[in-house]
């Protein structure tokens, strides 16, 4: 046989092997995806799976596997859980080209539903509504009725958030939740593709959301109806098997509800029950909420021993969470950077000359731009540092100013009431409860045992701000001080800093930070790093 025939035969055999290995690889990807989904279902933890899903998504796309869409949707779920709205939208846009007549309609519906939620979180309500409507279209294509009921229930549960975000038609929030509950209750308990556990997990989750709706969103609130739904969910948890994660979240809602209603005994009971489940699931963030409820409930009963116990546990837990998150963030960042560097190096030579030409053409302009920009940023940075250094003096002057402006408060508010509210607001600031990411003026008014009108007037006249500006100023003041005092905070991602000081998305945090300081968080951190030695040697003089 001639040499070229050997070469041809070798090529054919290798081509056959390659095709076979690709089929195996796709099957392997499907199995690995299922394993990841089971892991997330059992623990509820997704941050450890992000990098793994990213790799599988990349592999599936490179090989044009049919499983690409399913992996992409799971990756969207993971990023959605971590409130990374930008990545959710980015992946959803990428996935649209993989949709065809063979794509599962329920998965397409889920994709658009998550995209809609992310647009809403960013404030793009028109895009959010459009995505929700597309999601609804695909729901109608689901043939099996129980499957259609299940995903319709999920749709309406999420659609309620659109009306909550738009701050219009607040009644529609409750209507959507009730529609979602109705759809879930239609699912058959026998011979269904939707398991009984899936059905009742969904029902208890929606009823828990209805509890929160009737308690805090509906105006005026309806605690009796709210309690009706939480009791229904608790009864299901007793009589049927639901996921430990969902049951734990249910106890968390019950603990919050009864603490809000000043039923401290029940608040303590459900928080303790939730902690028992948390030990099996290991969810530090849920444990943190249970500790908060137990601390406040015991202190409300004047049980200082137990209150102090859980307060200490809460402090210790928060510290350990911050340390663990930092290590996790650093590890993921390092590995991702390593992959990016390898990809960059593989194509560097090809684009080197083009890059050098671009550098020569625009280098002068960039240098001039940055020189002027850095000068301005440095001035703003120095101004902010001086503000932090002299915070004590500023606080004293603000207190004097508040006393001078007492006459601004309407005579309809008694002087005693003003003083009581100012004391409560001061305690609120010291306990740093403004870091809650879902804080509203209605919540704060309820927390301070007053009404929103009085609270709004007090904040306007004594803090010289409206409510949103007041909360933003407290949060940005808190995080700038943390960044100044503790070098470890300068290593965290912007998304984590946003979460620490109570913002739902990094974008909102960035806008608030720049409005308050004139700098972006990145600019502030970069300047802190440049002046690290000076700052570290001087800060003890002021704090």
Residues 231 and 267: their CA atoms lie apart, in Å, by 13
Domain final residue, candidates 142, 176, 191: 142
Q: Per the domain annotation, does 13 fall within a domain?
A: no
Following DSSP, what letter does each residue of 50-99 receive, concatenated? HHHHHHHHHHHHHTT-TTHHHHHHHHHHHHHHTT-HHHHHHHHHHHGGG-
pLDDT truncated to tens, each residue of the chain (543 aa)? 555 544 555 444 444 444 444 444 788 888 888 888 887 766 656 677 888 899 999 999 998 898 999 999 999 988 887 778 999 999 999 999 999 988 999 999 999 999 999 999 888 999 999 999 999 999 999 999 999 999 999 999 889 888 877 776 778 899 999 999 999 999 998 878 999 989 999 999 999 999 999 988 888 999 999 999 999 999 999 999 888 888 999 999 999 999 999 999 999 999 999 999 888 877 788 899 999 999 999 999 999 999 999 999 999 988 887 776 555 444 434 544 554 565 566 566 666 767 677 777 667 667 666 666 666 777 677 777 777 766 646 555 554 444 444 444 455 567 888 888 899 898 988 888 889 888 899 999 898 898 989 889 998 988 898 989 999 999 999 998 888 888 898 898 999 999 988 898 999 999 989 988 888 898 888 888 877 644 444 444 444
- Return the H-helix or E-strand segment holding 31: helix 3-43
Does 305 map to a domain? no
Question: How much is the pLDDT for 192?
Answer: 84
Distances (CA, A) of 39 to 33, 45, 46: 10, 8, 9
For residue 447, give the CATH number of its domain. Answer: 1.10.10.60
Domain count of the chain?
2
CA 257 to chain centre: 22
CB count within 10 Å of CB 323 equals 11
DSSP string for residues in 223-253 = HHHHHHHHHHHHHHHHHS---HHHHHHHHHH
User: 384, 408 in Cβ contact below 8 A?
Assistant: no
Q: Evaluate whether residue 324 is within a structural domain.
A: no
Whether 159 is in a domain gets the answer no
3-state secondary structure 164-228: HHHCCCCHHHHHHHHHHHHHHHCCCCCCCCCCHHHHHHHHHHHHHHHHHHHHHHCCCCCHHHHHH
Neighbouring CB atoms inside 10 A of 530's CB total 12
C-alpha torsion 122→126→131→133, nearest 10: 140
Contact 202, 150 (CB under 8 A): yes
Strands (E), 327-480: none
Nearby residues of 192 by Cβ (< 8 Å), 6 or more positions away? 146, 199
Domain containing residue 50: CATH number:
1.25.40.10
Q: To 5 degrees, how large is the angle CA 514–CA 483–CA 491?
A: 100
For residues 462-485, one letter each, b for 16 or more C-beta atoms within 10 angstroms of the residue's C-beta and e for the rest, the string is bbeeebebbbbbbbbbbbbebbbb
Helix (H, G, I), strand (E, B) or coil at 500: helix
How many angstroms separate the CA atoms of 264 and 86, rounded? 40
**Helices 105-121 and 125-139 sit at what angle, rounded to 10 degrees?**
170
Given 74, 107, 142, which residue is the final one in a domain?
A: 142
Q: Is residue 489 part of a domain?
A: yes
Task: Identify the H or E element spanning 12.
Answer: helix 3-43
Residue 440 inside a domain? The answer is yes
Residue 292 is predicted with a pLDDT of 94
Local structure of residue 449 (DSSP, 8 states)? T
Cα 113 from Cα 124, distance rounded (Å): 14
Residue ending a domain, among 142, 175, 208, is 142
Give dist(CA 104, CA 107) in Å, integer.
Answer: 5
Residues of the domain holding 113: 41-142
Domain annotation covers residue 64 = yes
For residues 40 and 52, the answer to whether their CB atoms sit within 8 Å is no
Query: Would residue 224 count as lying in a domain?
Result: no
Residue 499: strand, helix, or coil: helix
């Amino acid at each position: 046989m001639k040499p070229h025939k050997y070469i041809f035969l070798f090529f054919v055999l290798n081509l056959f092997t390659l095709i076979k290995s690709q089929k195996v690889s796709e099957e392997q990807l499907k199995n690995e995806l299922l394993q990841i989904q089971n892991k997330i279902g059992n623990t509820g933890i997704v941050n450890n799976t992000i990098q793994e899903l990213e790799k599988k998504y990349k592999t599936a796309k490179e090989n044009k596997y049919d499983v690409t869409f399913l992996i992409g949707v799971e990756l969207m779920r993971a990023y959605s859980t971590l409130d990374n709205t930008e990545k959710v939208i980015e992946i959803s846009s990428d996935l649209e080209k993989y949709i065809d007549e063979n794509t599962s309609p329920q998965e397409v519906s889920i994709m658009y539903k998550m995209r809609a939620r992310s647009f809403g979180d960013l404030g793009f309500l028109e895009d959010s509504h459009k995505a929700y409507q597309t999601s609804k279209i695909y729901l109608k294509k689901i043939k099996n009725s129980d499957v259609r009921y299940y995903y319709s229930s999920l749709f309406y549960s999420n659609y309620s958030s659109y009306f909550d975000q738009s701050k219009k038609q607040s009644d529609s929030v409750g209507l959507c939740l009730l529609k979602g509950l109705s759809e879930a209750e239609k699912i058959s308990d026998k011979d269904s593709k939707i398991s009984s556990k899936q059905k009742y997990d969904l029902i208890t989750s929606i009823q828990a959301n209805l509890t929160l709706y009737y308690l805090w969103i509906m105006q005026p609130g309806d605690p009796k109806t709210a309690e009706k739904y939480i009791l229904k969910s608790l009864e299901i948890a007793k009589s049927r098997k639901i996921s430990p994660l969902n049951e734990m979240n249910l106890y968390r809602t019950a603990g919050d509800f009864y603490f809000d209603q000043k039923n401290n005994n029940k608040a303590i009971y459900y928080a303790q029950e939730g902690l028992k489940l948390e030990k099996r699931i290991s969810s530090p963030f849920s444990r943190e909420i249970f500790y908060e409820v137990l601390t406040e409930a015991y202190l409300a009963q004047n049980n200082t021993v137990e209150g102090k116990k859980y307060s200490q546990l809460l402090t210790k837990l928060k510290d350990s969470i911050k340390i663990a998150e930092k290590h996790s963030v650093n590890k993921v960042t390092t590995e991702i950077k390593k992959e990016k560097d390898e990809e960059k190096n593989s194509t560097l030579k090809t684009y080197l000359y083009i890059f050098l030409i671009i550098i020569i053409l625009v280098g002068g302009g960039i240098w001039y731009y940055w020189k002027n920009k850095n000068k301005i940023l440095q001035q703003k940075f120095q101004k902010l540092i001086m503000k932090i250094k002299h915070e004590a003096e500023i606080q004293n002057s603000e207190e004097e100013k508040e006393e001078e402006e007492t006459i601004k408060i309407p005579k309809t508010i008694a002087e005693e009431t003003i003083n009581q509210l100012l004391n409560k607001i001061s305690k609120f600031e010291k306990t740093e409860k403004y870091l809650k990411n879902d804080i509203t003026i209605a919540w704060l008014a309820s927390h301070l045992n007053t009404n929103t009108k009085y609270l709004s007037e007090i904040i306007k006249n004594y803090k010289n701000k409206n409510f949103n500006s007041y909360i933003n100023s407290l949060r940005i003041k808190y995080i700038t001080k943390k960044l100044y005092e503790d070098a470890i905070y300068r290593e965290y991602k912007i998304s984590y800093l946003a979460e620490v000081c109570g913002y739902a998305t990094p974008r909102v945090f960035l806008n608030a930070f720049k409005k308050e300081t004139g700098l972006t968080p990145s600019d502030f951190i970069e300047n802190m790093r440049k002046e690290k030695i000076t700052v570290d040697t001087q800060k003890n003089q002021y704090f």
